[in-house]
Structure 1
């Protein structure tokens, strides 16, 4: 009896599988037609990213930041930091980046990207590799280093921690951006 059931099950599964094929269903588009009808992946990804991006929040993905920069026309402010060990990074975060004056300026004028080199917090290996590549690309020798780049990743300006609080730092950033 079980020798009869197995071939029947195989036949039923084969018929079910063939009926799901797009080639057998004239009402469905095949994959090639679907690709022609849809927008390019890069456009869809950028639009999706812009739809989901909250201005003034910190990203950790360089390529996403560049796509958002291109889409929005805003430069990318890259904060190279040691978020859990660097005293000057703590000061920049607390005195500037967490203050309303900076946050409001950033929402309107910048895409924010944090490239972190923590000592106690473990990052995924691919993030560590990506961060190290960016450190080399931009020649980062100390923390914090702030690099402002355009949508192609070309450096516009470079700075770091500056005393004076968020209002003073925003004025400093405006001066740097005016010189681009």
Structure 2
């Protein structure tokens, strides 16, 4: 009986040791705590202006499961991914214990008051157009594709262009 117990203990220890050596799946690192958010936002604004797009700041951290879920949705869903690419310059702005980007967030009107992720839309001049609480885009354990698309469409350059509405009026 002692031999069986010893063999079982050794087998368990061996399996446990191998499990510790197994590669752990890490979540993607989409936020960079070392990034210079102010400089990155300035570059994104310049790029957006040149491309006639708006800037979408996704503020959060690698620690935030909802931030990662949102990023997963908009990068893997072909419709959302294309719409973002066509209308926005997207920038992930870090908020974590290593770097809270407090001065940048203060200049953006303290969007962290809504939790994370939180989205800030800027125009090609750097003007803040909208701050979006991501809670309104949630559905179940993720985000609703339809709600996200509606948000993106509502703050796209075309939605804010007076010419879009003049053309609709002429068509009537």
TM-score interval, smaller chain? 0.5 to 0.7
Give 3-state SS (helix, strand or coil) of 1:78's partner: strand
Q: Any conservation in 1 of the 2:84–2:152 contact (CA below 8 Å)? A: no
TM-score, scaled to structure 2? 0.56
Q: 1:94-132 CA deviation, whole Å, 9 max, x = no partner?
A: 23344222211111111111101245xx6xxxxx48x33
Number of equivalent positions: 115
- SS in structure 1 of the partner of residue 155 of structure 2: helix
**1: CA distance, partners of 2:49 / 2:160:** 20
- Measured in 1, the distance between the counterparts of 2:102 and 2:75 equals 23
The runs of 5 or more residues in structure 2 that have no matched partner are 1-30, 162-172
Alignment-derived partner of residue 103 in structure 1: 81
State the partner residue of 1:72. 51
Please report how far the alpha carbon of residue 166 of structure 1 lies from its aligned counterpart in structure 2 after TM superposition.
3.0
Distance in 2, matches of 1:95 and 1:165, equals 9
In structure 1, stretches of 5+ residues that fail to align are 1-57, 123-127
Q: Please report the TM-score for the alignment, with normalisation by the length of structure 1.
A: 0.54
Aligned equivalents of 1:175 and 1:66: distance in 2?
Answer: 19
Q: Do structure 1's residue 86 and structure 2's residue 59 form an aligned pair?
A: no
CA deviation map 1:61-91 (0-9, x unaligned):
1111011011111110011112x21232122
- Separation (CA, whole Å) in 1 of partners of 2:79 and 2:155: 17
C-alpha RMSD of the superposition:
2.8
